[in-house]
Structure 1
Amino acid sequence: MSPPSVNKKDTLSDYWLSFVNGDKEAFADFYNQGYNILYSYGMGLGMDSQQVRDIIQDIFIRLYTNSDLINDLYTIKPFLLRSVRNAFLNIKKTENRHTDFEQINFELRYSIITDDIEDTEKQEHLKLRIKNILSVLTPRQKEIIYLRFIHQMDYEEISQIMSLSGQAARNLLHRAITKARENDNNKDLLILIILFIHIH
């Protein structure tokens, strides 16, 4: 693969647009940038590592062979995440388990970054706080926080991924924030989480 050009592309949309316009090498960049996003999300949904890898591989093969699957540059990321979610649900159905969107047991898989905090006691206190904040949230509340604050998605994008109406997405996030604040009593708790956790 050729080295990046001077005008470095840094979004999925840029790489995808280059690919559909004939730059086949751009697909490798599109794949590389999208892979980690989808892997993290798939693991959060509860799949094992090989299942996630197989699903991601299948999604990108389908896109490479049929670029018409994406018809809007602004919905690429939601399309990819929704594809992972739907594939997960299909796996559950084939395993004869009754699974719907309400039953996805989403977990925020993370490690806590505390290198800037030298005091060990403060580090442990921060870890406990974040653990307690997340422990009171339902799987769907964790998922919407993940999509809204980690991936900075708007409500329309979240609605596409989680099969919710825009208002339902707003209500779900509001309940999540309210519930977390009641547990921690800190208005900046979500900023705290975003600054000090590394999603993997």
Structure 2
Amino acid sequence: MQDDITLTENLRRGDLKALESVFRSHYRDLLAYGLALCHDPHEAEDMVQDVFFRIWEKRRQIRAGTSLKAYLVRSVRNAFLDRIKRDKVRTEYLKLLATEPASASDTAEEYAIAEDLHAAIMEAVTGMPEQRRRIFEMSRFGGLKYQEIAKALNISVKTVETQMGRALKQLRMELAEYLIVLLYIWTHYGEK
């Protein structure tokens, strides 16, 4: 079996045999780790497969000299945390929809608009570069302060501020068409 440095270099060059070697060497351990995290065999399998898919997609970003096992374990952990955040957002959104008082003016069209808006927001967030998305989610969905995010990600507070500014700008640009819808919703629910 090749060492981590050789495997990493071969992965970075796009060698499928290197990916297969990494998969064969680490899949079972990663699956066991994923199962320990989420207690759901199907969820664990999905997470680990997603990790290998992302590794292949982002193979050129893997740093030479990185311990592949540590990198893979960290990737599974991050995938698990990302799923928790997505589930939390989905749950909070469904709670909000369930607690909204129904009235005669609430129509299927309004519900569809709200669903479209939610989908557009989630698409815009998931389309952000990884670090920006993670910072945004930690701030907006996790309720963490910039200093807490900086410490957790081992980056400067200035980087967090810059990435949050870029995230908000990106959201404003991508969701501009929904501004009228948002104004309508705020006005509509503000009158009740």
| TM-score of the two chains, using structure 1 as the length reference | 0.41
Could you say which structure has the greater relative contact order, defined with CA pairs below 8 angstroms and 6 or more residues apart?
1
Query: Greater CA radius of gyration, 1 or 2?
Result: 2
| TM-score of the two chains, using structure 2 as the length reference | 0.42
Higher helix share: 2
